[in-house]
Structure 1
Amino acid sequence: MNKNNYEILAPAGSFEALEAGVKAGCNAVYLGGEKFSARSKAHNFSNEDLKKAVEYAHLRNVKIYVTINILIDDTEMREAIKFTEYLYKIGVDAIIVQDLGFSLFARKLFRGMEIHASTQMAINNLYGAKTVEAFGFERVVLARETELSEIELIKEQTDLDIEGFVHGALCVCFSGECLMSSMIGARSGNRGDCAQPCRKKYEILDLDFNKVADEKYLISPKDLNTISSVKQLIDRGIYSLKIEGRMKKPEYVYQIVSSYKKAIEDEVNSEDKNNVKQIFNRGFTNGLFNGDFGRDFISYDRPDNRGVLIGEVISKTKSTYILLLNDKVNIGDGLEFNYNGNSIGLKSDFNSGNLKEYKFKTDKKIIVGSKIYKTSSKELLDSINFKLNESASYRIVNIRAEFRIDKKPVIEMECDGFVVREEIDTLVQKAQNRALDEERIRENLSKLGSTIYKAGLINIILDENIFMPKSAINELRRAAIEKLDRLFIKRDRAGIFVDNSIFNIDRKVKRSKAKLNVEINNLDDLKSLNEKKVNKIYFPIDKITDDVISYLKEKNIMLSAVFKKFQNSKQLVESFDILKNNFHLFDEVLLNNLSQISLLNGIDIVKVADIGLNAFNSYSVKCLLEMGFDRVILSPELNNRQIKVISKNFADKIEVISHGLIPVMTMVHCPMSVELNCKDTKNCIKCKYSRGFYLKDGKGEKFLVERDRETSQIFNCHPIMLAEKVKNYMSMGIENYKLNLREDIDESVNLYSDILSGKSFNSDIIKDKLVKKYGAVTNGHYNRGILNGQSV
């Protein structure tokens, strides 16, 4: 663990943004290569750019972290490891990872480089942190929803560095668990290609499809801003203060980094805070961890940059408008005139000076009463760019030089623990005319303006009456600086050998008959289920009530306990206690979060990896089985081709979701809280909409939302129905098939039971019912997948 108090971690989507972060005073930068990055639309860095970035940053005492934070396909694993080997060799300080199979490969191979668990790994509590610590990771990047008390627990009970987001755009869904963009249009956040459906408008309908609320941006979060509380986050245990923004411009990076640095050093003022707002904002939230909820968290009126409110249009005569201003406008400023959500944007062609009322002519049709926002400030951008063009020093160097007649001149430089010694072949001569004095030598040795160094102590030893050409002294200084540069750029790492045999999986599949597993959510559905036709019954662990227990005992039924995707430590332990207290009722558990691996370690019960663990390739399946899992439910983002590859070695140990609604978002936020103006989660249990409601998008698609305690789940608008595809999976030898059932339980079980038994079947009745309710059924990713349009 680092001994320093904090690290400011800046984003970089381009080399210019990297430079901006460093010049603003960051301690580390995170960026992505041309592949394997969760910001595929950013400019990103070629291999050559990455090497240049490492050299630039290390010279300036800044670390470089490279994102390999997507789910990786079987066909990409060798390339991902080869890319990581390159990063290792050029001195990258750490990689940020999501994919479980890749992560454990990387940890085993690249011991000299830190591995950081990405926020895409969805770690939000102590037990999740303990899991990745056991994997050998050095740092955990916490989910943005992580509670402050959990941060303190992780600090106290692990040796991990803790990284947390402090500023910028927020995902409304727990990162790594959002499938909404993927299921709607095959653009997956888990592949860095999210289409941001959270930034769209939605209506609210009740369960009978009656309209409850008009269109708003109900799941579009404000931007996080903790500039007033960042020191408290450090005190809680956040070491690395992460700024979101790899899609942002260099000016944004500079402003945010410099302002947070000032805040930590108690130097931030109102102008800095206003500049933070001016550079970009969707409105600001203090974050869920600071108690914001509902309208305090969601930018429900608009999803984009709103700038700073500077005035109002108070009157109009023909094409002349009177603007009432509380801030000056300069030529080149971006302005927006907004009236009840209708906006007109333009670039200013005037200077208002200090006038409070300004006459403004335009042919644009602006409504009197419009609010005036400054969406960009030419003055601020010019100020930032001036600073970006200034030279800066980052390291103090102490110099000792010796000049003896008829000997080679010698220079020693000491900087941040490194000492270099250099000499040149030119001999020091006895002066024939004007001798070289100490002051002139000192002046030449101090000329470090084009380097990253600033001269500290200078100690010069010289004979009397000497002479050396100025060019020779400059050559001596430059040679020492170059040697010092190489020491800062270099990373001493043991050589590695990547044996290609590690990619070979040769496991023998044990053939057995196909099995039907069903997930249901309540006692009524349990009662309607013919348990004799199914292999396993999946049931939420936190919905085990006395009535459920009585029914299980009466019918002599055992369940598979499904753990939730997200809980804090207290809630997770409560679920664990239900398991312990009713151990005889469960024959296995389904785990949906890395935290549950740590908590259930050593518990003698069959473990199944559910979709929350994002098993996307053979290597992740292999890792999970080696951890003691009995089988693995594959990611619903896999297509037929990918599943076929995995099935070659693991057909008897994998499970495919074949029917039902897929959860596409899991979040703390409740969309209904925006409409009802809820201030917290205290009334969630009593809320009449707790049974569910629908979000309706602009295309008329309806997404079911269910609120369970302090978590909401959004389900895909169309249920998956693979009745016609299951036989293909059976031909691959796949044994286990999962149904997510909310309706037509008996009919659905009978249908898929017949399919798995090889009997003739007719799926039209169920299909027609689902189409009537949901508008359509879908094959999900059976054909398309999420690999940039690759299909079967």
Structure 2
Amino acid sequence: MKDKIKVPEILAPAGSMESLKAAVAAGCDAIYIGGSRFGARAYADNPEKDEMLSAIEYCHLHGVKIYMTVNTLLKDREMDELYPFLKPYYEAGLDAVIVQDIGVLKNIHEWFPDIEIHASTQMTLTMGVSDKLLKKYGVTRMVPARELSMEELVQMRKDTSLEMEVFVHGALCYCYSGQCLFSSMLGGRSGNRGRCAQPCRQQYLVDGKKCGIGEYVLSPMELSNLPYIAEMIECGIDSFKIEGRMKRPEYTAFVTAMFRKYTDLYVELGKDGYRDYIKTNRAEFENDICHLKEIYNRGGFTQGYLEGRSGVPFEKKKYDSGVMLSAKRPKHGGVLVGKVISVGKGSLRYKLDKDIYPQDVVEFCDKNMRQEYEYTVGTHLKAGMQVEARFKKGSRIFAGDEVYRTKKAVLLDDIREKYIDKEKKVIITGKFEAHTGENAVLQVILKDIVYSVSGDVCQNALKNPADEKSVKKSIMQTGNTEFEFSTLDVTMDDGLFIPVGMLKKMRREALDGLKKKILEKHRRSVMPCDEGEKVKEYLTGESEKELGKTTEYIVSVMNMEQLSAVLDFKDKNITKIYLRMEILDDNEINHAIDEIHKNKKKAFIVMPQIFRKNVWERESAVLTGKDSSYLEKCDGFVIKNFEEYTFLTEKCMISSEKIVCDAQMYVMNKSAYDFWKENGITKFTMPFELTEYEMDGIAKKAGCEFILYTHIPLMVSAQCVRYNTKKCAFSEKKGINEKIILTDRKSREFMAINYCKYCYNIIYQKTPLYLKEYEDKLKDKGISKFRYDFTFESIEEVKTVLSGKYNGIYDEGHITNGVE
């Protein structure tokens, strides 16, 4: 007897209605799509209200769920628009919303309690331990960070009862999702607000030089976990999520079809049967992978994160540097189809390894994968042939250069014919009965939904009586409707007169009724707060302004030298010192706390930027072990993610009153503040992406801290610039916490540091944020707690900044300009 298999949902992206219909035709179980507001793909062809309502209807008619992305950070001025925006979709039966902002999460749960909420990958969830906190606010599913290994996903499945939705195919960000400020700080286009300009796909010099692996050192390859379908099903993943709301409908359709195919094969054949099938049909599997590459790939595909290739201790596994990067080419790379064998004046010859077809696009690339020339093929050319082609003057093409196909026209045509050009119908069955002296009856049936209509009373025919064939023909001609009959059972007396007009009317009424009945199953009634009472309450809520309170200064340090400089700076208004854990070892932290207390200041521990399973285990041993002494000695903790909240409050039994939310927790609006207040935290840090005018609503909160000086962390990555461009510092035992300068094409410089203690990279803006001149304005808003965050500053630089004498180049961030 086969074990019962939990069949994962195939979740497809839809950046347009055409993509949505293509995904449904290809066999998806659910769609995720952005509306006209609040989605993380602001530049997709997102539908407006009427089209979104049509999308909800279309999906529900086809038995497909539909989730809306509401996964951006909202500012206070936008929160009043959220309720009227979501209300019609909620009433139409929208199945779930995908959310990043905890203020949005709180309000949606309060305003629309019957809708499911999915915690977005933008929340940077790396473990399942915080599910109790999320469940309180209606979260039914979490989308883990894409950086997790199979081992971590297995553990997460054990730790949480929430559904797990895992990305299985598509683009990878260099940064942990939700932790990226690169696009925002450089050009005002915030990735947290759906407008990422993709600085990770740009060229960078490394320490002033071109890098040997390529110039696109922040550009990951494309993800495809198709080879790991069996392991993910066995892990208990609930939903296979395909990335690609900005991609074309053909991409959506084909990727969906491939994951549908192999998921269904596993369900049909079982654990051993599926693996046997893949072994014996390897050529078929490789061909499908090749077709996926033809549709879109960056430097091929990677399963690196799933295999634990980064973000975990390197003593476990070692890999070649750059193994997950498409460092030579940041866009679609196509498929290798041949090689140049000779080059003459204006023409060349190349030999084909694969067939190419009419309207295929082939390009000639140099050794660095730079395109030199491309053209469209006009005829079918077979593998093994030598082909002569002319090329554009000035193209640098040499014998040995590779030839790639970047568009396989016959594949795209086939996909379009199967899934796009012909709209999928809803398959129904029917029953028609007609008896002398009784009303004709037509039933239309979709699974457990039945709708019946009655026609006229049936009379005997004077001539030309109806027969079963003619009746079926009239009823089964569904034309432009959404439905198509698979079968129609006809039971009728002989010799009856059955008008064709009556049959067509019955068919029309039956299909209209069935459609209405299907959609009614999903519709919800109007909420009690229909007139917007909750919104009004939100907009007029009480503030907690603390004008006139003594100004406090807080200083965050990375090492003992910086601490020494701060303690030497005798300023009674420096009340707290934050100790970051990336560089300091446990003995140094203990000693630092003692020194801080001797100087009559409070000592806080700043928790790691990312808190994965291996970090949880390490800090559990340190903070709750017999030899630990600083857990109780320190005065508080600064957290950067959900896992740390759970770790401190449940594992370490720390009172939430001792916790401060750092800027990465994105308390962007009053509702986000209320979320944490309800869970015992009233101290938070102002996020970097608010202007002086946008922060009014939360600046008045008593626990607000404002960072006056820092090098803004633009990216936090499981990738490592040093490892990918040189060697692993951890395994070499040198170069740990090394500073590497990245320079972009506009000569702007950034600092990448590999924090080997926790195996993550942080890329900082080299030019510091310095807002001392805004201090009086900020005090007028009610802010009384100001912070200096030091990273790689020297003792002298620390003293200069604290003394107010810093006059170097600095950046005002977006306190004046804001971000989109």
Q: Please report the TM-score for the alignment, with normalisation by the length of structure 1.
A: 0.91
**Structural mapping, 1:34-433, within 5 Å:** 34-205=36-207, 216-266=215-265, 269-283=285-299, 284-293=301-310, 294-341=321-368, 342-354=370-382, 356-364=385-393, 365=395, 367-369=397-399, 370-389=401-420, 391=422, 395-424=426-455, 426-433=456-463
* Residue type at the aligned position of 1:525: Q
- How far the C-alpha of 1:577 sits from its partner, in A, is 5.1
- Separation of aligned partners in 2, 1:550 and 1:747: 22
| Gap change, CA 1:215 and 1:412, over 3 Å in 2 | closer
Pair 1:692-2:739 in alignment: yes
Displacement of 1:443 in angstroms is: 4.2
Structure 1 residue 271 displacement after superposition: 2.8
Question: Are the counterparts in 2 of residues 128 and 594 from structure 1 also a CA contact under 8 Å?
Answer: yes
Counterpart of 1:279, as a letter, is I
Question: Per-residue deviation at 1:12?
Answer: 1.0
Query: Aligned partner of 2:692: which letter?
Result: N
CA distance in 2, matches of 1:486, 1:349: 50
Please tell me the residue identity of whatever aligns with 1:372: V
Is the alpha carbon distance of 1:78 and 1:456 closer, same or farther for their aligned partners in structure 2, counting shifts above 3 Å? same
Question: Within 2, Cα distance between the matches of 1:743 and 1:28?
Answer: 47
Instruction: Give the aligned residue type for 1:603.
Output: I
Query: Residue deviations 1:12-51, cap 9 Å, x none?
Result: 1111111111111111111111211111111111011101
Of 574, 579, 582, the match for 1:539: 579
Give the CA deviation at 1:725.
1.3
Q: Does 2:760 match 1:711?
A: yes
Q: C-alpha displacement at 1:86, in angstroms? A: 2.1
- Counterparts of residues 459-474 of structure 1 (less than 5 Å): 459-474=489-504
CA distance in 2, matches of 1:214, 1:412: 66
Q: Which of residues 691, 696, 702 is equivalent to 1:644?
A: 696
> Is the Cα–Cα contact under 8 Å of residues 123 and 129 in structure 1 kept in the other structure?
no
Q: Output one character per residue of 1:202-245: Cα deviation in whole Å (capped at 9) or x when no partner.
A: 2222xxx7998686211100000111112321221221111111
2:766 paired with 1:766: no
Match of 2:607 among 555, 563, 572: 563
Does structure 2 conserve the Cα–Cα contact (< 8 Å) formed by 1:65 and 1:95?
A: yes
Aligned residue for 1:603? 654
Deviation at 1:393, TM superposition (A): 5.5
Compared with structure 1, are the counterparts of its residues 345 and 450 closer, same or farther at alpha carbon in structure 2 (3 Å cutoff)? Answer: farther
**Could you say which residue in structure 1 is the equivalent of 2:526?**
495
Partners of 1:384 and 1:311 lie apart in 2 by 25
Deviation at 1:597, TM superposition (A): 2.4
Whole-angstrom distance in 1 between the partners of 2:216 and 2:683: 40
Deviations 1:739-780 (A, max 9, x none): 1124667777767777xxxxxxxx4x4223xxxxxxx21111
Q: Distance in 1 between matches of 2:149 and 2:741?
A: 28
Is the contact between residue 516 and residue 738 of structure 1 (CA under 8 Å) also seen in structure 2? yes
Match of 1:772 in 2: none
Q: Which residue in 1 is equivalent to 2:272?
A: none
Distance across 2 between alignment mates of 1:742 and 1:156: 37
**1:249 Cα offset (Å):** 0.6
Q: Say which is worse superposed, 666-675 or 448-457, in terms of deviation.
A: 448-457
Aligned to 1:759: none
- CA 742–359 in structure 1, closer or farther in 2 if over 3 Å, else same: closer
- Distance 1:288-1:423 versus aligned 2 partners, 3 A rule: same
Counterpart residue type for residue 546 of structure 1: N
Report the CA distance between 1:730 and its aligned residue. 1.5
Aligned length: 761
> Is the 8 Å Cα contact of residues 24 and 258 (structure 1) preserved in structure 2?
yes
One-letter code of the match for 1:157?
D
Structure 1's 548 and 689: CA in aligned 2 closer, same or farther, altered over 3 A?
Answer: closer
The answer as to whether partners of 2:426 and 2:482 remain within 8 angstroms in 1 is: yes
Cα distance in 1, alignment partners of residues 363 and 551 from structure 2:
61
- Secondary structure of 1:724's aligned partner: helix
Q: 1:778 aligns with which of 803, 811, 814?
A: 811
* C-alpha distance in structure 2 between counterparts of 1:711 and 1:238, whole Å: 26
Question: Partner of 2:505 in structure 1?
Answer: 475
Q: Which moved more, 1:536-545 or 1:32-41?
A: 536-545
Q: Distance in 2 between matches of 1:577 and 1:145?
A: 24
Whether contact under 8 Å (1:131, 1:595) holds in the other structure is: no
Name the CA distance, whole Å, in 2 between partners of 1:279 and 1:211.
Answer: 30
Q: Specify the code of the residue in structure 1 equivalent to 2:654.
A: I
Deviations 1:527-550 (CA, angstroms, capped at 9, x unpaired):
222275311111124635224313
Q: What's the CA shift string for 1:640-685, capped at 9, x where partnerless?
A: 11123432x41x221111102111111110012222365xx8627x
Percentage of identical aligned residues:
28
CA separation in 1, counterparts of 2:78 and 2:424?
A: 41
How far has the Cα of 1:352 moved from its partner? 4.5
Q: 1:107 to 1:193 in 2, by over 3 A?
A: same
SS in 2 for 1:146: coil
Q: Distance in 2 between matches of 1:766 and 1:334?
A: 56
Alpha-carbon separation, structure 1, partners of 2:516 and 2:735: 66
SS at match of 2:226: coil
Provide the C-alpha distance between the structure 2 equivalents of 1:630 and 1:446, rounded to a whole number of angstroms. Answer: 65
Match of 2:316?
Answer: none
Is the 2:157–2:236 contact (alpha carbons within 8 Å) kept by the matching residues of 1? yes
1:450 CA displacement: 4.6
Deviation at 1:717, TM superposition (A): 2.3
Once residues 214 and 486 of structure 2 are traced to their aligned partners in structure 1, the CA distance between those partners, rounded to angstroms, is: 63
Distance 1:371 1:214 in 2: 17
Tell me the distance in 1 between the aligned counterparts of 2:203 and 2:526.
Answer: 53
Partner of 2:786: 737
Aligned residues of 1:142 and 1:164 also touching (Cα < 8 A) = yes
- Alignment partners' CA distance in 2, 1:714 and 1:4: 40
AA aligned opposite 1:540: R
Alignment partner of 1:550 is 2:594: no
- Is residue 338–residue 371 contact of structure 1 (8 Å, CA) maintained in 2? yes
In structure 1, list runs of 5 or more residues that go unmatched. 755-762, 769-775
Superposition RMSD on alpha carbons, in Å?
Answer: 2.5
Task: Please tell me whether the aligned partners of residues 150 and 308 of structure 2 are also in contact (alpha carbons under 8 angstroms).
Answer: no
Deviation of 1:627 after TM superposition, in Å, equals 1.9
The answer (yes or no) to whether the contact 1:124–1:146 under 8 Å persists in 2 is yes
Q: Answer whether contact 2:223 2:302 (CA < 8 A) is retained.
A: yes
Is the alpha carbon distance of 1:252 and 1:129 closer, same or farther for their aligned partners in structure 2, counting shifts above 3 Å?
same
After superposition, what is the alpha-carbon deviation per residue over 1:171-221, rounded to whole angstroms, capped at 9, x for unaligned? 01011110011111111101111111111122222xxx7998686211100
Contact kept, 8 Å, 2:362 with 2:377, in 1: the verdict is no
Could you tell me how far apart the structure 1 residues matched to 2:25 and 2:427 are? Answer: 16
- What is aligned with 2:554? 517
Residue identity in the other structure for 1:436: A
Other-structure match for 2:270: none
Q: Deviations over 1:513-561 (max 9, x none)?
A: 1110111012222222227531111112463522431353356354211
CA distance in 2, matches of 1:466, 1:80: 59
